[in-house]
Structure 1
C-alpha cells in the first residue's frame, strides 16, 4: 500500500511529470508557446500561449460533448485501439487490457521492429503544460525526454482538474512521434464520431461515476467539516478535509486480488481490511470483490482512509463507515 497521501501526490505531480519515464508524461516549457517551432509532426496549439502554467485555461467540463466523462466510461479501450487501424502501421499483437480505461498493444512495425502503443482514457493532466495541437485538441507532445519514445497527452476535460487521453509510443528506431501522431488523431476522431461501446454487463462498475458514491452525510461522517473533491481518472474519487482523505477506486483486477487482508463485514458484504500504522501517518483500505468477469478477472471496490494529520480517529472505522454509505449506490453484482 502506498504511503504518500493523495493530496501530496497531486501537489507534486507537476514535479513528477519532469521525468517522462513516469506516468506517460514529459515536462513542457513555460515559454511563449506560439513562438516555438515544434518538430516531430506537431504544431503549436491555437491559444497555447495563454496557459495557466499547466494546461490551458479551459472552462470546467468536457472540451467537446463527445468527451463527457460518462461517454468516455462507456468506451471499450481495446476496441478503440483496434487491430484494423494498427495493421496500417505494422503487425498488431493481441491487445492487453489494463483496468477499465487502458489498453496496450506490443506489436511490430512494417520492418518487423518494435512498435509498442499504450493508451489511457481519462487520465489526470494536473500539472501538464501544453505545447502542441493534435487532432484539434490542446496537447503536450514529448519525443525528446526518452529516446525512441513519444508521449502525448491530449486535453479532453478542462477546469481545475483537467483530464485527457494519454499515449505512450515506443519504437526500436526512428521517430516514435510519427506513428504516435497518427494513432492519436485516429483515436480522437473515433471518440468524436463512433466510439466503440463496452459490452452491456449487468452490475458492472465500469460506467459508475465514483464521485457520486459518497453523499454529503457520508463525507461529513468520515471527515467532518467541509470537504473538497477531486478526480483521479475515470474510476477514482477522493474527498479531503482538514488533513484527512477518503477515496474510492473502482478496479478491474485479476481474480483473487482481494484475498489478502483481515476479514471484515460491511453490511453483509465479506470484505478485507488492510491497516497500516507508519511513522508517516495511519491509513486503512477496505476492499471487496463486486463481481467476477471473463478472463479470470474481477471488479473490485477499494475504499481507503488516510489520516494524514494523525487525528485521534480509527482510519479503519472511518473507511468501513464510508464503504457502508457507498454500498446502496453500487449496482447489484
Structure 2
C-alpha cells in the first residue's frame, strides 16, 4: 500500500480514491471511500483490456452476474462502470490476510479452523453457483481470513479474460495451476464441480502448508492435477475424509457445496475463528489501513506535471497486497511489530476513539485561555462525551466519534495539517471538529464559548488521544472497543439489508435498511429494569422486549462496568407493516452468538 502520486486520479465514479493497494494481472486496485463513508476496493483494468471490445462485453456480463452474489463469506460487488474510459469495479473492502499469506506467516491451520474454513467456503460457493457463476480461480490468494470468517474474492471476473490469445496473451486458460480442476487444466467445459475440486486442494494447503499436486514445473503440476493421485500425507484424518471426494478426477463424483455443508454440520459459536497469530495479522492490517486513510492528499500537479518521491509515513510497515495476483477486494498489510501504546496512534481512527475514555482526554490538561481543565466526578458518564470545567467556571465539552454539527457552518480552519470544521449555535457556543477519514460524517469535536478556544482544546485533545494515555481500562469481554457494523453479518439474518447511508451517527451505532430497518446500539449506563418489558430468551441471554406500534426493541446488560454503569446492548426493528419482533429476535440471537463472553 502506498500513497497516490500527484498525477493519479482522485475519483472513480462516486468513489474518492485515497491509496494504491496493489496491481495484478487484470488491473490496479485502489482503496476508495464511498459518499456514505464505506470503504471499497476499486479495481481499474489494465489498458490492454480496456481497449478490447470483446473484453468489455464479457466484463459487463460478469459484473452483472457478480452483483447478484450477496451471501455470507463473499465480498460483495457494490458498483461498476464497464463503459468508463478505464473500466472499474468496486467491491466491499475487507481486511484480513489471504489464506496463502496466513499459512506462510503462521503455519498450517488447526483442524477446527480448517473445518470453519470449509463451512465458509462451501457456503460462499453455494451462493456463487446459485447465480450461475463459476469462480474458476479459487486459490489461497483469493480467500481472505477476516475476523469473523473467510471471504471469497474475485468470483466470476476471471472469465472476462478467458478465451483467446488477444486477451490472455497465450490463448490459454486463466487460473492457478496448483488449484485447477483436471477439466480446467485440459481446457474442457467447466461446471460448478470444478470449484469443488479447487476447494479440496485449498483445504489440503490450509491443513499442511502445501498443495496436493506439487511439481517442479508448471507442466508437471498440470500433469499431476490431471493424472496423479493427490498427496494427502500429513492431512489430519478429519480433513482427509472431507477432501478426498472433492479431489475426484470425475466431476460427477464430487460432492456439491450443499452436501459438504450437510457433512460438516453446524460449527460451534465463536468470535475468533482463527489461531491467535492470524488475528494478530488482522489487527496489524486494520491499523495500517487506518494509517493510510489519514495520509494527506498530495498537492495539485503543476504544469508541466512533475513526479515527486513520497517519504514513507509508516516506516515499520511491510506491505503485501492480497490483490497482487488478481484478487479483487482486499489487501494484506503487515507491520514489523504491533503499534505500541503511546506510539503515535491515529486520533481520528474509529477503533482508537472507541477505546478512548472522553473523561481522561483533557482531565488535568492545561488549555490556553481556560486554565487546567477538570473532568466531573460522576457515576453516570456519557460513554462518548465529557464536560470539563475551566478556571473561570465555564465549560468545554469533548465529543468522540459523533455526528458533526452543521447548525450554522463557519469558514473552515486548519490544525496540524487537518481541516477543522466550525459551526456555531447562538452567540456563545462554537463547535470545532475534525472528520474521521473512514466516516466523514463523524468527528472529534470540542465545544466552547469561542471558536478559538474550541480549536485550541481540540488540538490538545488530538495530541492526548494520539499518545494513548486516555484509553479505557478495558476488561475481557467488553463491548466498548467493538464496531457493531463489523459484529453482525447481514447475510446471516435474511431480513437485513445493506448498511443505510444515514445510519452511522455515532461510533457505537449501526443500522441496516431493508423491508425492515434494524439498528444495533452499544452503550454504558445504569442497569435499570424497564417497566412493562417482556423477557425474551436469545440463547443464553434474557433480553427485555418492548413493542410500540410498528417498532420492536430488545435490550439487555452485557456486563457490569465501572461504578454503577453496565454495558448495554439495544436492538430496534421498525417496519412499515406487519410484526417487527421476529426480525429483532433473529438479529438478537445472532448478536448474542457473536458477542465476546463477559
What is the TM-score when the length of structure 2 is the normalising length?
Answer: 0.40
- Does the CA contact (< 8 Å) of 1:271 and 1:288 recur in 2? yes
**1:256 equivalent in structure 2:** 528
Higher relative contact order (CA 8 A, sep 6+): 1
* Gap change, CA 1:206 and 1:258, over 3 Å in 2: farther
- Choose which of 577, 580, 589 in structure 2 pairs with 1:311: 577
Aligned with residue 231 of structure 1, among 481, 486, 504 = 504
- Judging changes above 3 Å, is the alpha-carbon distance between structure 1 residues 197 and 135 closer, same or farther for their aligned structure 2 residues? same
Deviation (angstroms), 1:127: 6.4
Tell me, yes or no, if structure 1 residue 320 matches structure 2 residue 592: no
Counterpart mapping for 1:50-199 below 5 A: 60=33, 63-64=293-294, 66=346, 67-85=348-366, 89-90=370-371, 92-95=373-376, 98-105=381-388, 107-109=389-391, 112=392, 114-125=393-404, 131-143=412-424, 145-158=425-438, 162-170=441-449, 176-199=450-473
Residues 574, 580 of structure 2: 8 Å contact kept? yes
Cα contact 2:367–2:456 (8 A) shared by 1 = no
- Alpha carbons of 1:295 and 1:324: their partners in 2 closer, same or farther (altered >3 Å)? same
- Partner deviation per Cα, 1:104-135 (whole Å, 9 max, x = no partner): 12x243xx3x3211111111349686722234
Report the secondary structure of 1:238's partner residue.
Answer: strand
Distance 1:93 1:71 in 2: 22
Report SS of the residue matched to 2:366: helix
- SS of residue paired to 2:365: helix
Q: Counterparts in 2 of 1:1-16, with a 5 A limit?
A: none
Pairwise CA distance, 1:215: 1.2
> Matched residues in 1 for 2:395 and 2:539: separation?
45
**How far off is 1:265 after superposition?**
1.6
Contact 2:359 2:375 in 1 (8 A): no
Where in structure 1 are there 5+ consecutive unaligned residues? 1-55, 171-175
Shift in Å, 1:73: 1.3
Please state how far the C-alpha of 1:146 moved relative to its aligned partner.
1.2
Could you tell me which residue of structure 2 aligns to residue 51 of structure 1?
none
Q: Deviations over 1:233-289 (max 9, x none)?
A: 1111101114x3111100101121656522222113121011101xxxx11110001
Assess, with a 3 A threshold, how the Cα gap between structure 1 residues 260 and 332 changes in structure 2: closer, same or farther.
farther
Q: CA deviation at 1:193?
A: 4.0
Cα distance change on mapping 1:218 and 1:69 into 2, 3 Å: same
Partner SS for 1:231: coil
| Offset, 1:85 | 2.6
Q: 1:136 to 1:219 in 2, by over 3 A?
A: farther
Cα deviation code 1:128-156 (max 9, x no counterpart): 8672223432222134x312211112112
Larger radius of gyration: 2
User: Does the CA-based 8 Å contact 1:117-1:168 persist in structure 2?
Assistant: yes
Q: 1:260 to 1:150 in 2, by over 3 A?
A: farther
Which has the larger displacement, 177-186 or 322-331? Answer: 177-186
Decide which structure has greater helix share. Answer: 2
Q: What is the Cα deviation at residue 306 of structure 1?
A: 1.1
Q: 130-139 or 266-275, which moves further after superposition?
A: 130-139
User: SS where residue 359 of structure 2 aligns?
Assistant: helix
The alignment partner of 1:167 has SS state of strand
Rounded to whole Å, the distance in 2 between the matches of 1:94 and 1:228 is 35
Separation in 2 of the partners of 1:291 and 1:71?
Answer: 21
- In 2: Cα distance, 1:91 partner to 1:139 partner: 23
CA apart distance, 1:93: 4.1
How many Å separate the matches in 1 of 2:529 and 2:406? 31
Cα offset, 1:323, TM superposition = 0.4
Check the 8 A contact 2:403/2:443 in 1, yes or no.
yes
Are 1:269 and 2:269 matched, yes or no?
no
Deviation for aligned residue 1:86: 5.0
3-state SS, counterpart of residue 268 of structure 1: coil
Segments of structure 2 that go 5 or more residues without pairing to the other structure are 1-15, 19-31, 34-38, 40-289, 295-344
**Closer/same/farther in 2, CA of residues 190 and 257 from structure 1, 3 Å limit:** farther
Q: Is the 8 A contact 1:142 1:152 kept in 2?
A: yes
Q: 1:182 to 1:257 in 2, by over 3 A?
A: farther
Higher strand share: 1
